[in-house]
Chains A and B, each alone.
Chain A
Amino acid sequence: MQIAFDSLETRSVTLGFIPLLDCAPLIIARDKGFFRHNGLDVLLMRESSWSSLRDRVALRVLDGGHMLQAMPLAATAGLGGLSVPMVTACVLNLGSNGITVSTDLWQAMRATDPHVGDSAQAAASALARHVRDRRAREMAPLTFAITFPYSSHNYELRFWLAAGGLDPDRDVRFVVVPPQQMLSHLTAGRIDGYCVAAPWNALAAVQGVGRVVAIKQDLWENAPEKVFGVTRDWAERNPNTHRAVVRALIEACAWLDDPAHHGEAAALLAQPGVVNAPAALIAALLGGRVFAEFDAPPRQVPDFIVFHRYAANFPWRSQMYWTLTQMRRAGQIAGDVDLHGLAASVVAADTYRAVAAELGLPAPTIDDKTEGTHANEWTLRQATRPIAMGSDRLLGGGVFDPSLDAEEASPRASATPRSQKENS
Chain B
Amino acid sequence: MRLRILIIDEDPARAKALEASLAAAGYEPVGLAGPKDDLLAKVQDLSPDLIIVDMESPTRDALEDMRRITADRPRPIVMFVDHSDQETIGEAMRAGISAYVTDGLNPSHVKPILDVAVAQFAEFQKLRQELEQAKLDLSDRKIVERAKGILMTTRNLPEEQAHRLMQKLAMDQNQRIVDVARSILTLAQVLKSDR
**Do the two shown chains form a genuine complex with each other?**
yes
Select the stretch in B18-26, B64-72, B101-109, B141-149 that faces chain A.
Answer: B64-72
Binds B, one of A48-56, A313-321, A333-341: A48-56
Would you give the shortest CB distance from A153 to chain B, in whole angstroms?
Answer: 11
- Greatest chain A CB density within 10 A among B98, B172, B194 is at B172
Q: Which of A41, A52, A78, A81 has the most CB of B within 10 A?
A: A52
Report the minimum CB–CB distance from A73 to chain B (whole Å): 15
User: Complex Cα distance A143/B63, Å?
Assistant: 17
Indicate if A175 sits at the interface (CB-CB under 8 A): yes
Give the number of residue pairs across the A-B interface with Cβ within 8 Å: 89
Let me know if A255 is at the binding interface, CB within 8 A: no
Choose the segment among B50-58, B120-128, B132-140 that binds chain A (4+ C-beta atoms closer than 8 Å).
B50-58
For residue B131, CB closer than 8 A to chain A, the reply is no
Q: Is B61 an interface position by the 8 A CB rule?
A: yes
Contact partners of B93 in chain A: CB under 8 A: 55-56, 59, 61
Contact present for B83 and A48 (CB under 8 Å): no
B171 to nearest A CB, angstroms? 9
| Contact in complex: A176, B154 (CB < 8 Å) | no
Separation in Å of the B17 CB from the closest CB of chain A? 21
Residue tally, chain B, CB below 8 Å to A: 34
Interchain CB contact (< 8 A) of B61 among A36, A43, A49:
A49
Q: Report Cα–Cα, A225/B68, bound state, in Å.
A: 23
Q: Separation in Å of the B174 CB from the closest CB of chain A?
A: 5
Of B58, B63, B69, B165, chain A has the most CB atoms within 10 Å of the CB of B58
For chain B residues 82-100, which have a beta carbon within 8 Å of chain A?
83, 86, 89-90, 93-94, 98
Tell yes or no: B79 within 8 A of A by CB: yes
CB-based contact B58/A49 at 8 Å:
yes
Q: How far is the CB of A144 from chain B (nearest CB, A)?
A: 12
Pair A51/B174 contact, Cβ less than 8 Å: no
- The residue on A at minimum CB distance from B38 is A190
* A81 x B172 contact (CB < 8 A): no
| B58 touches which of A43, A59, A80, A181 (Cβ 8 Å) | A181
If A12-B156, A41-B154, A81-B64 touch, whether A46 touches B89 (CB-CB below 8 Å) is: no
Whether A48 lies near B56 (C-beta < 8 A) is: yes
**What is the minimal beta-carbon distance from B62 to any residue of chain A, in angstroms?**
4
- A residues 97-113 touching B (CB-CB < 8 Å): none
CA distance A176 to B43 in the complex (A): 14
B58 near A82 with CB under 8 A, answer no
With A82-B80, A180-B58 known to touch, is A51 a contact of B155 (CB < 8 Å)?
no
Q: Does B40 contact A (CB under 8 A)?
A: yes
List A contacts of B168 (CB < 8 A).
Answer: 45
Measured CB to CB, the nearest residue on chain B to A190 is B38
Does B13 sit within 8 A of A, measured CB to CB? no
Residue from B98, B165, B172, B194 within 8 A of A46 (CB atoms):
B172
Contact B64 A82, beta carbon cutoff 8 Å? no
Q: Which residues of B contact A82 (CB under 8 A)?
A: 80, 83, 86, 89
A176/B64 in contact, CB under 8 A: yes
The 6 closest A-B pairs by CB, nearest first: A178-B58, A273-B173, A176-B65, A51-B60, A49-B60, A176-B62
What are 17 A-B pairs with beta-carbon distances under 8 A? Answer: A41-B154, A48-B60, A49-B57, A50-B61, A51-B61, A52-B55, A52-B60, A61-B93, A80-B80, A81-B80, A82-B89, A147-B61, A175-B69, A176-B64, A178-B61, A331-B68, A332-B68
Query: Given A12-B156, A52-B60, A82-B86, 13 other A-B contacts at CB below 8 A?
Result: A12-B155, A41-B154, A48-B60, A49-B60, A50-B61, A51-B63, A82-B89, A147-B61, A149-B67, A175-B65, A178-B58, A178-B59, A178-B62
